[in-house]
Structure 1
Amino acid sequence: MDIVRGTNGFDVVHENGNWQLNRDTGFSPTQVTVAAVAACSGYVYDAILEKKRIDYTIENIHADFEQDQEATVRVLKKIEVTFTLKVAPENREKAEKALHLVKKSCPVAMSLDPKIEILEKVIFS
């Protein structure tokens, strides 16, 4: 992976078009970190639900985050990943219980400082 100086800051080089790492014209590095946790969690949750043979559709993954506003460097303090899931009512409890496996099976989440609180929630549609 290469990162180069682009017209609006730094870009991650990709054969299908560079990805701007600038919060004004793309996503900030912090936002990219949060997105990586959310996407990784989505892939992991997919795998868990498949393994448990639960018929489902992940309709949306929403990520929110908080930074420590009092610290000199505004580090991530909390990441909340919310899955909107379409699943039969009889499987909702199983799908909700499966959430506790997501964080410890996500290599991105496990690579972050353990002081960062990572919460997963599910909303059924």
Structure 2
Amino acid sequence: MSIETFTLNKVGPAFTLDTPEEPWILLRGEGYSPVQSLVTAAAACAGYVYISVLNNSNVPHEIEKVTVSYTRDMAKKTNPIQSINVTIYAEIATEYHEKAQRCVKLISPNCPVIQSLDPNIEVVEQVVFL
């Protein structure tokens, strides 16, 4: 087991996380909301896992960007995340597209952030070939 501890300081209305460069402000409108942080963490993790899977599968690639969108369940009092859609934009030669598409299926089972989410949250990953 690995334990890592962070301290969030209360600065005005926001909680902040000190980092070497500048503090992360965890407040919507002044920085990133905790929900936005969670969603982008899942997307970043998915991107890193996809890169690793492509490398292990000997698929030459260049990842340009990852976009993420999410929905919230407005019928529930706390409006929890309902779905997360991750799109990875990658330059991959046509002859590797089929293999690269199969690699997408390995993202969720190998991403610790996605594995830590409530199983009721639908996570969809896709790749767009450039």
TM-score if structure 2 supplies the norm length?
0.93
CA RMSD of aligned residues (A): 0.8
- C-alpha separation in 2, matches of 1:76 and 1:22: 17
How many corresponding residue pairs? Answer: 125
Structure 2 residue corresponding to 1:71, chosen from 70, 76, 82: 76
Partner of 1:59: 64
Question: Is the aligned partner of 1:123 residue 2:109?
Answer: no
Stretches of 4+ moved more than 4 A in 1?
none
Q: CA deviation at 1:44?
A: 0.6
- C-alpha separation in 2, matches of 1:7 and 1:63: 29
Matches within 5 A, 1:10-89: 10-89=15-94
Q: Sequence identity, in percent? A: 34
Compare 85-94 and 4-13 and name the one that shifted more.
Answer: 4-13
The one-letter amino acid paired with 2:98 is E
Q: CA deviation at 1:23?
A: 1.1
Q: Is the 8 A contact 1:83 1:123 kept in 2?
A: yes
Q: CA deviation at 1:104?
A: 0.6
- C-alpha separation in 2, matches of 1:26 and 1:57: 29
The one-letter amino acid paired with 1:39 is A
Structure 1: which 5+ runs fail to align?
none
TM-score if structure 1 supplies the norm length?
0.97
